[in-house]
Structure 1
Amino acid sequence: MNAMMRRVVIGTAAVSMALSMAACGKAGSDSSGGDNKTIGLLLPENKTTRYETFDRPLMEKKIKSLCADCKVDYNNASQDTETQKKQFDALITKGVKVIILDPVDATATKSWVDGAAKKGVKVVAYDRLAEGDISAYVSYDNEKIGELQGEGVIQALGDKAKDSRVVMINGSPTDPNAGLFKSGAHKVLDGKVKKIVYEQDIPDWSPDEANKKMAAAVTSLGKKGFDAVYSANDGMAGGIITALKSAGVKDVPVGGQDAELAGLQRILAGSQTFTIYKGIKPEAETTAEIAVALLNGEDIASLTPQKVDSKSKKGVPSKLYGAQIVTKDKIKDTIVKDEVYTVQQICTATFAKACKDAGLQ
């Protein structure tokens, strides 16, 4: 082999090796060295038990089933926006290309999400509609959930509804879902009850703060000054019910949302009237499917049949799930049937008699 031939062969081998290495690099990392087999997962808080009990493990399990070599980089912001921004920025720095984001403050995310999108990072808004150039959104029809909550209150009041006065304890003002729940509830309650006599938004969905506001309502209105309480979720309903008990207020319907274990037990015991059951599993698993599809550069149209507008983006590809009112007599055919909680988990010794009375054994 002459020198010229040798140079051509060596040169060809070098090009071939370079192309091979580039292909390997493409499969495992982006050009900046980031690992594109990692999906970021950022959840907002842990006061609401569902996030650590259901949302996180369900998404992690589904992602692993769809992509065996994928990793999930998880962080919880503990209700702090600045903490969540740092967590988001850290994922971008690591080269993560898909982030599932359930924002602490949905309006604060616009600059983060827009900046990420410019770098080719896909952000999936989970449960709450984050502002900015998001790629997809998975949640529930949250105004409809508010309507269901309002209907739950009306059903609990029965024939007395039109003469009833209602206290409303709403969710966090930084959570866009809370505003939709409130809007939906007002749509049903306004005109069907005598009056909303006291209404407060509760920062951070805090049960302690809800307890204080309910105590203030009792002081302001008197023990007989209201006939029902709308609570935006089960966690706050717990705080509200404690305040009512401390004040000696009895037989006042209290609604909630999320089908938390403690909420279900209060429903069985009779201190809480209803909750709203939202199937977290389909929400979490669809989000995982979308994240993996985006990671692989696949089309997500079949997973996102709806379009939703945020303040900053029109026509966000979305999937919105429905929900239902759950009272004592419906726990078995919803929560237990869907294996959210077992009878054993719900019916601890304290609630054994209540469970038996409700046909939960």
Structure 2
Amino acid sequence: MTRLSTHLIGAALFGLALTGATASFAAPSGTVAFLMPDHASTRYEQHDFPGFKAEMAKLCAGCKVLYQNANADASTQQQQFNSVIAQGAKVIVLDPVDSTAAASLVHMAQSQGIKVIAYDRPVPSTPADYYVSFDNEEIGKSIAQSLVQHLKDAGVATGKGGVLEVNGSPTDAAAGLIKKGIHEGLEGSGYKTLSEYDTPEWAPPKAQQWVSGQITRFGAQIVGVVAANDGTAGGTIAAFKAAGVNPVPPVTGNDATLAGLQLIVAGDQYNTILKPSEIVAGAAARVAVGFLSGEKPKAETTLFNTPSQLFKPAVITAKNIKAEVLDKGFTSAKDLCAGRYADGCKKLGIAN
């Protein structure tokens, strides 16, 4: 059994535990809000919200779901937060633009008896009612360790140079956890960190601009890049391409976006993290319905003084992309192998 299979089973069991716990209550109803942080990552529109909406429809046909995306603006998210409260939301699932600023939102909601589920990104300075996410620290550690092992397997001497570190947004607590994990994954590897950067708003163009400057600064000393998600990885790769660097040093990623997976097929990105957002979205929906039913959902751990459910990530490289992504139906060969990616797919035994 693969790690991912184990985690999917764990997600299913978690769902059964919550739905079983709420079975003795009358059919729940109420308004639930799902507030996401930005459009820079395509996952929120393509996976998180559809997954949440589908699970809510199954568990609570009488519930109303409100959806908003703050487009990386904390002030906009505050306005949206106020708006859903005015519309009668009893549970708010919040993926904060600014994890520090979100503390006041949590306090405001809780003072009115409204439950707040921190989603993907925690709110470190004040306890939410629940936190649901993939294990972000483990994500950072996994992608860094995977890169280190790849460099060693390729015979890249530790004295040859070092790595760049392209982190996520400085206002995102989840990015801070990923960053911490990256540091743990690189520690003791022998490869020094040449420089690192916290990417405002996770914006790929800002990552690209910074990496371009580091290429000018360090040149061939850069033996790899630990990028915290597929967007910053894409910006990183674009910087190397624009500088005429061929081949591009191995670059990590996270989120298993279609663009990230295609860069792996093309040989430009080394790894990503498969963390189907629908798993976390479904868990958040089950917790929300539990709150509406008057139930206190169980938690496997506590993070930032908040009851938490953390799912484990799976590292994807060219070696297992077919078995873990294609064969398990997370994307189709038709989409993955479109256009210029067809040849790369053939080399990996992926038939379009």
Q: Which moved more, 1:185-194 or 1:261-270?
A: 185-194
Distance between the aligned counterparts of 2:27 and 2:327, measured in 1?
41
Indicate whether 1:138 and 2:135 are aligned: no
Aligned AA (1:353):
D
CA pair 75-160 structure 1, distance change in 2 beyond 3 A: same
| Alignment match of 1:176 (pick from 173, 176, 184) | 173
**TM alignment of 1:1-361, pairs within 5 A:** 37-130=30-123, 131-158=125-152, 159-160=155-156, 162-163=158-159, 164-221=161-218, 223-251=219-247, 252-301=249-298, 304-309=299-304, 314=305, 316-361=306-351
SS at match of 2:40: coil
Distance between the aligned counterparts of 1:182 and 1:253, measured in 2?
18
TM-superposed deviation, 1:194 = 3.3
SS at match of 1:227: strand
Per-residue CA deviation, residues 179-213 of structure 1 (Å, 9 max, x unaligned), is 11111111121331331111111100010000100
Q: TM-score with structure 2 length normalisation?
A: 0.88
Distance between the aligned counterparts of 1:90 and 1:154, measured in 2?
46
SS at match of 1:41: strand
CA pair 194-96 structure 1, distance change in 2 beyond 3 A: closer
Q: Is the 8 A contact 1:171 1:202 kept in 2?
A: yes
Q: TM-score with structure 1 length normalisation?
A: 0.86
SS at match of 2:100: helix
Aligned AA (1:60):
K
Identity %: 40
Number of residues paired by the alignment?
A: 321
CA pair 161-82 structure 1, distance change in 2 beyond 3 A: farther
Aligned AA (1:234):
D
TM-superposed deviation, 1:161 = 5.3
Residue in 1 aligned with 2:16? none
Distance between the aligned counterparts of 1:45 and 1:192, measured in 2?
34
TM-superposed deviation, 1:28 = 11
Distance between the aligned counterparts of 2:147 and 2:49, measured in 1?
31
Q: Is the 8 A contact 1:161 1:192 kept in 2?
A: no
Distance between the aligned counterparts of 1:122 and 1:338, measured in 2?
35
Distance between the aligned counterparts of 2:240 and 2:156, measured in 1?
20
Q: Give every structure 1 segment of 4 or more consecutive aligned residues whose post-TM-superposition deviation is greater than 3 Å.
A: none
Residue in 2 aligned with 1:8? none
Q: Which moved more, 1:184-193 or 1:96-105?
A: 184-193
Distance between the aligned counterparts of 2:114 and 2:328, measured in 1?
35
Distance between the aligned counterparts of 2:195 and 2:163, measured in 1?
7
Q: Is the 8 A contact 1:62 1:289 kept in 2?
A: yes
Distance between the aligned counterparts of 1:337 and 1:321, measured in 2?
21
Aligned AA (1:338):
K
SS at match of 1:230: strand
Per-residue CA deviation, residues 15-55 of structure 1 (Å, 9 max, x unaligned), is xxxxxxxxxxxx999xxxxxx61111100001101111100
Structure 2 unaligned spans of 5+: 1-25
Residue in 2 aligned with 1:10? none
Q: Is the 8 A contact 1:336 1:342 kept in 2?
A: yes
Q: Which has the higher contact order (CA 8 A, sep 6+)?
A: 2
Distance between the aligned counterparts of 1:91 and 1:133, measured in 2?
20
Per-residue CA deviation, residues 325-351 of structure 1 (Å, 9 max, x unaligned), is 110121122222332211111111321
Q: Report the RMSD for the aligned CA atoms in angstroms.
A: 1.7
